[in-house]
């Protein structure tokens, strides 16, 4: 699974450079580089373009046509008023707090339970292990809308309707988290754990002190996935939270666009907060782990 | 979501309908209002008491003060009653309402449009307003009342609330640029087509936007095409008029009167295209004038308003919001009284003065605010035109038409515009697909 995180960036380098060197000719090398950067720029425009438009829109003052054609990316009267307007329209701090509680809790539970279940499925031997794995993987393909009502009924019988734990619970550990962690543990060389066993470590100690530190890359991936999923989730919080004071940011931000008004600049400012806030936070927290990967081996050779 | 003029966002109604058919509609009381335990079923005359919950569709924050004001007035008249107001976003509202109905969590009074209400209403979820509000029925716009009178039920289940009706917004600058008279908006489909063609030929702009996902069935209905048969069991729109309409759009696509990407686009894209000045004609709800003003002031300044483009019978279309009372409420008397109060002439008139919507009560429409409009800006003109139209207006898209039905038809229509099938083939195939949708939903609801 580590292959999906850091390595592609690394392995992308050598092949791209090597043929250029073999080609020898200076011109061909420049063509190769130009082509590469042209492609990179294209991808940049596609992925970052809408984001830039949204950012530009959120900074535009009254009186500017937001849908001008071609798009006008430099605001004539740059202003932060739209951001202030978001806070006036919705109780932003409490929505952000609720979203943070939900996202952080979801990250912790997914990392913890995902790692535990993944370790058991990768390393321990017990009956029906294959069947358990199959059932967990099968849940990946069930759309949430289908089980919505039964999940709601369970949540209600637990007395968690209209509470933040009720929002976290259905996705406290997802099949994807378990699957990613299991793959991470499978990739570890058994010798390390065997060495630990020889030194007298129990199953818990092996998990906590030997296996877990070696899968930080996977933990970071699970953490980022579960954080962004919980942060962006809309339908479930809308259904389970009855009192508007408990709404999370994605639900609350809907009220920026009224039934009869759609001030795109304010909406853009609101969505920028949704998009940007968790990104910054995640990068500060997880950047190191995310790029480190797993390869820093405990076993040489 | 049926509404042409209120925002359309739901794409999940199909999924919702499936969930609904898989789960029995649980009865049960609305959650969380223990205060209503005392038997509050006293009929008219008795003093009302208890707590009721009132749920609306995305009216905060613009109308927070208005709604709270009406609630305060009501509580003053009925001191024993407490009204709790919950406002939920439009997005996801369909799923929320279905889940609430299946688990007995519906509020006591609920604001829905005919689309959201349909899957629940056919299961008998809501109080029969033909009986419960028989005395005030004729105070409401007839077409609005009928919008909630589903043929499967044979009676109305809502008190009509606010309405919106289509007007023809157009960019006067584009008209002048093309040498057309900016004071003469198109009044018929022929004139609309002629204007659109002229503008596309003589200027850099597109004439119009088909927004078929939103307009196709309504335009057909205006042209006299019968969309479904009387009892709503079969699609019946395979007519020469329907074919001719698609052929016209196909020609527009080939001639560049409509933009190539607009074939598969929705009403939201149409608004954006108009705000970007890419299209000259924009028939839609008058309430979108506010949106244009907020986002594209220069386009708003050039915008003029004409009456709705109608077919030969001249019946204009409209979209409707209603207030319903679920049968499961444990405070029926107070819930009904509050629904009446919210939709009465006085309160609706006050509502319509905040934004360009129309009241559904005939008395409010007689008010000078609508009959003697001051000012000559686009919004005032739109208000005057809308109020004139509304009394004869009807919801043109038949109430049995679901999102799935619409999607099946639009899918074939798009194929016709792109030249994959002929217009006649598209209409025939669409009719078949739409009938299948009706049969499936009939089987699901066990009719």
pLDDT digits (tens, 9 = 90+) for B261-272: 888 888 888 988
Q: Based on the domain organization, do B174 and B158 belong to the same domain?
A: no
Residue in A70, A149, A266, A274 to test binding to B, most B beta-carbons within 10 Å: A149
Window A:249-278, CB contacts with B under 8 Å: 251, 254-255, 257-265
- B1 in any annotated domain: no
Q: Using pLDDT thresholds of 50, 70 and 90, give the confidence band for residue B293.
A: confident
Q: Based on the domain organization, do B342 and B308 belong to the same domain?
A: no
pLDDT at position B46 is: 64
pLDDT at position B246 is: 94
Give the count of beta carbons closer than 10 Å to the beta carbon of residue A42: 10
Q: Based on the domain organization, do B306 and B234 belong to the same domain?
A: yes
Q: Which residues are B170's β-sheet partners? A: B281, B304
Distance separating alpha carbons of residues A98 and A280, to the nearest angstrom:
18
Contact status, residue A193 vs residue A210, Cβ threshold 8 Å: yes
Which chain B residues have a beta carbon less than 8 Å from that of A265?
A: 295
- The rounded mean pLDDT for chain B is 84
Contact status, residue B283 vs residue B310, Cβ threshold 8 Å: no
Contact B357 A146 (CB under 8 A): no
Whether B211 has a pLDDT exceeding 70, the answer reads yes
Contact A261 B291 (CB under 8 A): yes
Whether B241 has a pLDDT exceeding 80, the answer reads yes
pLDDT at position B445 is: 62
pLDDT at position B231 is: 80
Window A:81-120, CB contacts with B under 8 Å: 89-90
- B5 in any annotated domain: no
Domain edges within chain A? 2-79, 85-292
Share of chain B above pLDDT 70, in %: 88
More confident of the two residues B128 and B92: B128
Domain count, chain B: 2
Q: Based on the domain organization, do B234 and B136 belong to the same domain?
A: no
Contact B295 A251 (CB under 8 A): no
Q: Which bin fits A72, alpha (ψ -120 to 50), beta or left (φ > 0)?
A: beta
Which chain A residues have a beta carbon less than 8 Å from that of B14?
A: none
Give the count of beta carbons closer than 10 Å to the beta carbon of residue A34: 10
Which chain B residues have a beta carbon less than 8 Å from that of A235?
A: 92, 95
Tens of pLDDT, residues B41-81: 444 456 888 999 999 998 887 888 999 999 999 999 999 99
Q: What's the average model confidence in pLDDT over B310-330?
A: 90
pLDDT at position A25 is: 65
Window B:231-290, CB contacts with A under 8 Å: 272, 275-278, 287, 290
Beta strands in B107-151 (DSSP E): 109-112
Contact status, residue B211 vs residue B269, Cβ threshold 8 Å: yes
Q: What's the average model confidence in pLDDT over B246-257?
A: 93
Q: Based on the domain organization, do B292 and B404 belong to the same domain?
A: yes
Distance separating alpha carbons of residues A272 and A51, to the nearest angstrom:
8
Residues 6+ apart with CB under 8 A from A109: A168, A172, A173, A226
- B240 in any annotated domain: yes
Which residue among B336, B359, B383 closes a domain? B383
- Paired tokens of B446: 């066990």
- B344 in any annotated domain: yes
**Distance from CA of residue B334 to its chain's centroid?**
27
pLDDT at position B29 is: 37
Q: Using pLDDT thresholds of 50, 70 and 90, give the confidence band for residue B412.
A: very high
Q: Based on the domain organization, do B108 and B41 belong to the same domain?
A: yes
Quote the domain boundaries for residue B362: 30-163+318-383
- Paired tokens of A254: 């809907």
Q: Based on the domain organization, do B156 and B180 belong to the same domain?
A: no
Q: What's the average model confidence in pLDDT over B418-440?
A: 93
Distance separating alpha carbons of residues B161 and B181, to the nearest angstrom:
37
Distance separating alpha carbons of residues B205 and B256, to the nearest angstrom:
10
pLDDT at position B446 is: 55
Q: What is the mean pLDDT of each run of 10 residues along chain A (301 residues)?
A: 41 44 67 92 87 83 72 77 80 88 95 94 89 90 87 93 93 92 89 85 86 88 89 91 88 76 77 73 70 47 38
Distance separating alpha carbons of residues B127 and A282, to the nearest angstrom:
50
Q: What is the CATH number of domain A85-292?
A: 1.10.3720.10
Which chain B residues have a beta carbon less than 8 Å from that of A261?
A: 62, 290-291, 294, 355
- B432 in any annotated domain: yes
Q: What's the average model confidence in pLDDT over B321-344?
A: 94
Which residue among B339, B359, B383 closes a domain? B383
Share of chain B above pLDDT 90, in %: 47
Distance from CA of B213 to the nearest CA of A (A): 20
CATH number of B200's domain: 3.40.190.10
Q: Number of residue pairs across A and B with CB atoms under 8 Å?
A: 117
Tens of pLDDT, residues A122-139: 988 888 999 999 999 888
pLDDT at position B6 is: 52
Q: Based on the domain organization, do B324 and B312 belong to the same domain?
A: no
Which chain A residues have a beta carbon less than 8 Å from that of B12?
A: 145
Q: Based on the domain organization, do B101 and B151 belong to the same domain?
A: yes
Q: Based on the domain organization, do B124 and B233 belong to the same domain?
A: no
Q: Which bin fits B375, alpha (ψ -120 to 50), beta or left (φ > 0)?
A: left
Chain A interface includes B148 (CB < 8 A)? no
Which chain A residues have a beta carbon less than 8 Å from that of B18?
A: 146
Distance from CA of B228 to the nearest CA of A (A): 30
Window A:117-176, CB contacts with B under 8 Å: 143, 145-146, 148-149, 152-153, 156, 161
More confident of the two residues A15 and B398: B398
Chain B interface includes A238 (CB < 8 A)? yes
Main-chain phi, psi angles of B53, to 5 degrees: -105, 135
Distance from CA of B259 to the nearest CA of A (A): 14
Q: Based on the domain organization, do B180 and B120 belong to the same domain?
A: no
Chain B interface includes A205 (CB < 8 A)? no
The mean-pLDDT minimum among A235-239, B80-84, B92-96 falls in B92-96
Residue B333: strand, helix, or coil:
helix
Q: Based on the domain organization, do B351 and B302 belong to the same domain?
A: no
């Amino acid at each position: 699974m580590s292959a999906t995180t850091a390595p592609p960036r690394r392995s992308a380098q050598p092949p791209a450079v090597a043929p250029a060197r073999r080609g020898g000719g200076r011109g061909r090398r420049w063509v190769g580089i130009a082509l590469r950067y042209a492609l990179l720029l294209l991808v940049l425009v596609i992925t970052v373009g809408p984001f830039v438009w949204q950012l530009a829109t959120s900074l535009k003052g009254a009186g500017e046509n937001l849908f001008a054609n071609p798009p006008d990316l430099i605001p004539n009267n740059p202003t932060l008023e739209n951001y202030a307007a978001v806070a006036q329209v919705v109780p932003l701090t409490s929505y952000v707090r609720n979203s943070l509680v939900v996202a952080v809790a979801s990250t912790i539970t997914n990392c913890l339970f995902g790692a535990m279940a993944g370790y058991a499925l990768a390393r321990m031997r017990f009956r029906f292990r294959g069947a358990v794995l199959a059932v967990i993987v099968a849940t990946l393909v069930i759309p949430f809308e289908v089980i919505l009502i039964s999940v709601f009924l369970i949540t209600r019988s637990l007395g968690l309707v209209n509470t933040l734990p009720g929002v976290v619970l259905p996705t406290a550990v997802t099949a994807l988290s378990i699957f990613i962690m299991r793959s991470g543990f499978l990739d570890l060389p058994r010798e390390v754990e065997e060495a630990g066993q020889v030194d007298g470590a129990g199953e818990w100690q092996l998990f906590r002190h030997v296996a877990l530190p070696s899968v930080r890359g996977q933990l970071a991936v699970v953490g980022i996935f579960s954080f962004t999923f919980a942060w962006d989730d809309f339908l479930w919080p809308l259904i389970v939270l009855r009192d508007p004071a408990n709404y999370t940011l994605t639900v609350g931000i809907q009220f920026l666009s009224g039934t009869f008004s759609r001030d795109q600049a304010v909406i853009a400012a609101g969505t920028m907060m949704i998009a940007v806030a968790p990104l910054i936070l995640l990068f500060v927290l997880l950047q190191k782990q995310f790029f480190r990967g797993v390869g820093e081996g405990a076993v040489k050779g | 979501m049926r509404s042409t003029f209120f925002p359309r966002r739901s794409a999940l109604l199909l999924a919702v309908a499936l969930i609904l058919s898989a789960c029995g509609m649980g009865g049960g009381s609305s959650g969380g209002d223990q205060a209503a335990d005392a038997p509050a079923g006293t009929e008219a005359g008795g003093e009302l008491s208890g707590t009721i919950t009132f749920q609306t569709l995305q009216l905060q924050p613009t109308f927070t003060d208005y709604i709270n004001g009406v609630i305060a007035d009501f509580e003053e008249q009925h001191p024993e009653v407490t009204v709790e107001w919950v406002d939920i976003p439009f997005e996801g509202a369909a799923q929320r309402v279905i889940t609430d109905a299946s688990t007995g969590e519906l509020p006591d009074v609920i604001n829905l449009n005919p689309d959201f209400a349909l899957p629940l209403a056919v299961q008998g979820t809501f109080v029969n307003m033909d009986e419960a509000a028989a005395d005030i029925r004729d105070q409401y716009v007839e077409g609005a009342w009928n919008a909630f009178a589903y043929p499967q039920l044979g009676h109305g289940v809502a008190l009509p609330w606010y309405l919106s009706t289509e007007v023809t917004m157009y960019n006067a600058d584009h008209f002048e640029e093309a040498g057309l008279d900016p004071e003469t908006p198109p009044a018929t489909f022929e004139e609309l087509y002629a204007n659109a063609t002229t503008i596309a030929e003589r200027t850099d702009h597109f004439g119009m936007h088909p927004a078929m996902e939103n307009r196709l069935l309504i335009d057909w209905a205006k042209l006299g095409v019968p969309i479904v048969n009387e009892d709503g069991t079969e699609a019946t729109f395979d007519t020469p008029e329907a074919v001719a309409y698609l052929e016209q759009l196909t020609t527009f696509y080939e001639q560049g009167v409509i933009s190539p990407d607009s074939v598969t686009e929705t009403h939201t894209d149409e608004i954006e295209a108009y705000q970007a000045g890419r299209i000259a004609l924009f028939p839609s709800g008058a309430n979108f004038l506010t949106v244009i003003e907020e986002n594209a002031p220069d386009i708003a300044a050039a915008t003029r308003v004409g009456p709705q483009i109608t077919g030969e019978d001249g019946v204009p279309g409209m979209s409707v919001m209603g207030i319903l009372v679920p049968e499961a409420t444990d405070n029926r008397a107070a819930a009904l009284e509050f629904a009446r109060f919210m939709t009465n002439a006085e309160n609706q008139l006050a509502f319509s003065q905040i934004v360009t919507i129309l009241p559904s009560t005939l008395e409010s429409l007689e008010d000078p605010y609508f009959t003697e409009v001051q000012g000559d800006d686009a919004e005032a003109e739109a208000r005057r035109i809308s109020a004139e139209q509304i009394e004869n207006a009807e919801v043109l898209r038949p109430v049995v038409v679901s999102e799935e039905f619409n999607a099946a038809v639009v899918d074939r229509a798009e194929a016709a515009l792109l030249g994959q099938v002929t217009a006649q083939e598209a209409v025939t195939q669409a009719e078949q697909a739409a009938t299948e949708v009706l049969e499936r939903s009939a089987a699901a609801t066990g009719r």
